[in-house]
Amino acid sequence: MNKLTVKDIDVKGKKCLVRVDFNVPVKDNVITDENRITGALPTIKYLMDNGAKVILCSHLGRPKGGVAAYADNKKKYSLKVVADRLNQLLGNKITFADDVIGEKAEACVNACKEGEVVLLENLRFYDEETNNDKGFCEKLARFGDVYVSDAFGTVHRAHASTAGIVQYGFIKTAVAGFLIEKELEIMAGALEAPKRPFVAILGGAKVSDKIGVINNLIDKVDSLIIGGGMAFTFFKALGYSIGKSICEEDKLDLAKELLAKAAAKGVKLLLPLDNVIADAFSNDANIKTVDHMIPDGWMGLDIGEQSIEAFSKVIDSAKTVIWNGPMGVFEMSKYAAGTKAVAAALAASSAITIIGGGDSAAAVTQLGYADKMTHISTGGGASLELMEGIALPGIECLNKK
């Protein structure tokens, strides 16, 4: 963690433009999961307590149509519901600006006093946000003497509010909030100097989604466990029959190369020993458990008991574990056992356990294991790119210590 944080600068009396991640699920105007809001509170409270004028900005969902569809988008994607909840949490010190830039937003920001907060409307009501438009960056940057990055879920995007306002030079002082600091210290720390044995568990449907991650992790881990749909591309590369399981035919040579690289590096690359297979992609299908050889007309949808036992044994001996991606079709109850077992093994482990966002984070939360994990990342895509070794625009733009 070689970036300045809010603790390294004097924020009193300064307008701090804080990029937070309030992209929360909302149903019938009720927030159904507040984790991203509560995750931002430590930084917001610190800035308030230290006399900053706090200007929050975030996106919510994927509104389309830009300014032309502003009125229609507000009905579904307005951050007003988040402002109302923040006021409950922070003692009615939040003012909601009914726009992102322009006169309404400027009036709210100009009226903001030390220790108070303004939440701007949804950034993505303007296409200029995702286009990293220089003019939009300039207008947004007027609301900040200091830029604070605290939305890890967006730091892999080179958008106006995540990087552009600093990269274009409109705000010179750019620091990390506490959430970003934690993500980098734990995740980047594990990748750079892990306690060993270091184990990575990767699941999900496609090898192509995680080629760079696998390639990078082979250089760092002691054991690499591969489950989920991507395992069948490796199975076919090894000459096993996979029935009608998901497979990326154009990635078979790559799978062979990754297997060879792991062997050359002395990394244990573990594939499932057995598979729960079905004759249809359905919770009502006929199922059975087989080894590597999947018969025609059947597809692999989860790992079997032998695999669970083998993977759990590796997890039990680990000192650091990173997990990203389910072991099967977790959303169907018949094929959730593998993912549940990996989550349980991590919960019981004494290792540093890091969940790389996305489906894995949802799984441990749903199963009640969240408090048993060392860290659950708030950014699936960002955590994957961090594991891949890719420079993240929203981190690169911050001032170094």
Q: Is the pTM of this model over 0.95?
A: no
Taking the C-alpha atoms of residue 33 and residue 60, their distance in angstroms, rounded to an integer, is 13
- Say if residues 327 and 195 touch (Cβ distance below 8 Å): no
Q: What's the mean pLDDT in 114-142?
A: 96
Which own/partner contact pairs does 231-239 have at CB distance under 8 Å and 24+ positions apart?
A: 231/271, 231/272, 231/300, 232/294, 232/300, 233/206, 233/207, 234/207, 234/258, 234/259, 234/271, 235/271, 235/292, 235/294, 238/292
Give the catalytic positions in this structure. Answer: 36, 206, 358, 381
The β-bridge relationship of strands 299-303 and 275-278 is antiparallel
Which of 151, 153, 145, 133 is closest to 170 using CA atoms?
Answer: 145
Contacts of 172 (CB under 8 A, 6+ apart): none
pLDDT band at residue 383 using 50, 70 and 90 as cut-offs: confident
- Res. 198: pLDDT tops 90: yes
Question: For position 22, what pLDDT does the model report?
Answer: 95
- Say if residues 155 and 168 touch (Cβ distance below 8 Å): no
CA 93 to centroid of chain Cα atoms: 29
Cα→Cα distances 163→41, 61, 304, Å: 22, 19, 44
The β-bridge relationship of strands 53-57 and 198-202 is unpaired
Strand partners, 358: none
- Res. 1: pLDDT tops 70: no
Taking the C-alpha atoms of residue 197 and residue 363, their distance in angstroms, rounded to an integer, is 24
- Say if residues 137 and 170 touch (Cβ distance below 8 Å): yes
Query: What is the DSSP-derived secondary structure letter of residue 213?
Result: H
pLDDT band at residue 206 using 50, 70 and 90 as cut-offs: confident
Q: What domains appear along the chain, each with residue ranges and CATH number? A: 6-182 (3.40.50.1260), 194-388 (3.40.50.1260)
What does the pLDDT look like over 41-57, one tens digit per residue? 999 999 999 999 999 99
